Amino acid sequence: MANRFMLNETSYHGHGAIANIVPELNARGFKNVLVCTDASLIKFGVSQKVTSLLDEAKIHYTIFSDIKPNPTIENVLAGVEAAKAAKADVIVAIGGGSSMDTAKAIGIIIRNPEFADVRSLEGVAPTKNPCLPIIAVPTTAGTAAEVTINYVITDVQKKRKFVCVDPHDMPIVAVVDPDMMASMPKSLTAFTGMDALTHAIEGYTTRAAWEMSDMFHIKAIELIANNLRKAVANDPDGREKMALAQYIAGMGFSNVGLGIDHAMAHTLSAYYDVPHGKACAMLLPISMEFNKETTGEKYREIARVFGVKGVDEMSQEEYRDAAIKAVRQLSIDVGIPTVCEEIKDEDLDNLAKDALNDACYPGNPKEATHEQVVELFRKLM
């Protein structure tokens, strides 16, 4: 069986990378831009770093900012109407995963109107046309939505998140500028950075992992291990390295999938509106412990890039435990809570059921029973 690998047409990285947005728009002949962002980024002047460039270049744009942190079906439908009203021929998505996921769903529906029912996009929908072109500008170092073929939408009515996987939704251009991330508060930097680490570790150990994806994931793990603490302390070099690390992790997991951590995190966000990165981070040491006997020698390499000494002299059990311990310590150091106070005992059965039905679960290297997933959730209580 052939392994498929998909990446952006073009990506820009480093300080000042947003200067390339206007030349890209002009070179591609776009005239009407839908700027897809969230209200908080407008309030704090982050989105204006991009819209001021559009103003200066006299490029016509319309702002759509009706986006929740866990974007909903209703957000997508409102965005579709906004794109139609603006006669948009391109979307510039500015924000974290929420803005970019919303933009992807909007773009897919605009070009594939037979999927106007947002729920019909769940899983691997048989769309025929590439989405409305997207230029993605992340403001967090975590989701890597700018380089993935995935997006996640919340169904508020059914209290669930659903994952959509579609090669037609990938942004044509990614602009990864650490200056756009400089105003991230400490907690968000920690949550999104641990989300990136979860992407890298789950992608490294998922069933579909292979040599090319491993190359990206182990480098991302190394960068995060060495730079997340610095980024949380607002060190500029740490932020720049984390911007790169999360993108590299996205290059990998988008093509090979994730696992039980993300499946469980999606349910926590759907039930209790827990921020996605926070949910992933709390679950990461727990899911690593659950999966450890199915990971071969990979935990040794994780321990190695975390700087654990003497891994080659350790037994398999020792280096696996060392990797988990190193990840747990990083999580503690950046302020990740170990308890999810929102979880209710009466929800555990449904949480486990929904996690096992999540699109990320099949990639997990170890099969889990309903009872085991219930117990994994209990470890957060």
What are the angstrom distances between the C-alpha of 202 and each of 39, 102, 252, 326, 327? 32, 24, 10, 16, 13
| pLDDT grade for 159, boundaries at 50, 70 and 90 | confident
* Contacts of 172 by beta carbon, 8 Å cutoff, 6+ apart: 8, 9, 10, 28, 133, 134, 135
Residues 125-149 have a mean pLDDT of: 96
381, pLDDT greater than 90: yes
Residues 139-162 have a mean pLDDT of: 92
Instruction: Compute the distance between CA of residue 109 and CA of residue 105 in angstroms, rounded to an integer.
Output: 6
- List, for residues 330-347, the tens digit of each pLDDT value: 999 999 999 999 999 999
Instruction: Compute the distance between CA of residue 167 and CA of residue 258 in angstroms, rounded to an integer.
Output: 16
Token pair 């190193």: residue: 326
What are the angstrom distances between the C-alpha of 268 and each of 65, 108, 109, 361? 24, 26, 27, 14
1, pLDDT greater than 80: no
15, pLDDT greater than 90: yes
| pLDDT grade for 69, boundaries at 50, 70 and 90 | confident
* Contacts of 359 by beta carbon, 8 Å cutoff, 6+ apart: 122, 123, 162, 163, 165, 263
- List, for residues 249-260, the tens digit of each pLDDT value: 999 999 999 999
Provide the β-strand partners of residue 72: 154
Token pair 């290059």: residue: 251
Instruction: Compute the distance between CA of residue 73 and CA of residue 118 in angstroms, rounded to an integer.
Output: 6
- pTM metric for this prediction: 0.94
User: Nearest to residue 283, comparing CAs of 208, 212, 337, 237?
Assistant: 337
Residue 47: the pLDDT is 97
Residue 31 token pair: 């005239």
183, pLDDT greater than 90: no
- List, for residues 206-251, the tens digit of each pLDDT value: 999 999 999 999 999 999 999 999 999 999 999 999 999 999 999 9
Residue 121: the pLDDT is 97
33, pLDDT greater than 90: yes
Percentage of the chain surpassing pLDDT 70?
100
Instruction: Compute the distance between CA of residue 267 and CA of residue 159 in angstroms, rounded to an integer.
Output: 8
- Using left for φ > 0, alpha for ψ between -120 and 50, and beta otherwise, residue 13 falls in beta
61, pLDDT greater than 80: yes
Residues 135-156 have a mean pLDDT of: 94
Residue 154 token pair: 């919340």
Percentage of the chain surpassing pLDDT 90?
96
Token pair 């929908």: residue: 125
- List, for residues 95-132, the tens digit of each pLDDT value: 999 999 999 999 999 999 999 999 999 999 999 999 99
- Phi and psi at residue 114, to the nearest 5°: -65, -10
Domains of the chain: 10-181 (3.40.50.1970), 186-378 (1.20.1090.10)
**Beta-strand relationship, 134-138 and 150-155:** unpaired
In whole numbers, what is the pLDDT of the chain averaged over residues? 96
* Contacts of 180 by beta carbon, 8 Å cutoff, 6+ apart: 18, 46, 49, 50, 94, 137, 138, 139
- List, for residues 295-306, the tens digit of each pLDDT value: 999 999 999 999
User: Nearest to residue 195, comparing CAs of 256, 277, 265?
Assistant: 277
Residues 65-71 have a mean pLDDT of: 91
